[in-house]
Amino acid sequence: MDGTGLMTEAIKLLLFPAMMAFAASSDLLTMKIPNRVSLIMVGGFLLLAATTGMPLEQIAKHCGAGLLVLAIAFGFFARGWIGGGDAKLAAATALWFGFDHLLVYLVYGSLFGGALTLLLLQFRAYPMPRFLIGQEWAERLHEPNGGVPYGIALAAAALLVYPNTMWMQALTG
């Protein structure tokens, strides 16, 4: 395998899962998903598309999926339903998935997001556990009117769907 092939395989195996794990942990601990996560994902997709010889028509479809999710997610952001980092993460993920896996990703993201919200509501209904007192991230999550780190749900959904994408199927198929 030449250097380009090795780089392509590394991007497929490592970049996407690593960015999802970073986004989820960052959202949990800080309630923020850095812009660099989405930018790295966009750059990784473009590099992967170029090194695998993805046809321009297919690249355009993936970009269409990303732009559609970006438009809808920013509508949600404007209403205060999700954070800006969540909107960008969902759009960057949609770019990688294209329309082929977009619906299942959004369904899983919604289900996981609902479960996460219910879990946080339960967590907030009880006094803060002693071992978490003084932990800034836990206290932030425990605030009665605090937000939901939706990036966790989006990342979990993405990691569940990713093995079924063409990127991973090309490695295992």
The whole-number pLDDT of residue 166 equals: 87
* Surface-to-core class of residue 56, CB atoms within 10 Å of its CB (0-12 exposed, 13-18 middle, 19+ buried): exposed
Q: How far is CA 100 from the centre of its chain?
A: 17
Question: Number of structural domains, the chain?
Answer: 1
* Surface-to-core class of residue 62, CB atoms within 10 Å of its CB (0-12 exposed, 13-18 middle, 19+ buried): buried
The whole-number pLDDT of residue 1 equals: 60
Give the domain extent around 22. Answer: 3-172
The whole-number pLDDT of residue 53 equals: 92
Distance from C-alpha of 159 to C-alpha of 29, rounded to nearest angstrom: 19
The whole-number pLDDT of residue 150 equals: 95
Q: What is the mean pLDDT of each run of 10 residues along the chain (173 residues)?
A: 74 92 97 97 95 95 98 95 95 98 97 97 94 94 93 98 88 65
**pTM of the entire structure?**
0.92
- For residue 19, give both structure tokens: 């960015």
The whole-number pLDDT of residue 12 equals: 83
The whole-number pLDDT of residue 3 equals: 65
**CB neighbour list of residue 46: distance below 8 Å, 6 or more residues apart:** none
Distance from C-alpha of 9 to C-alpha of 96, rounded to nearest angstrom: 15
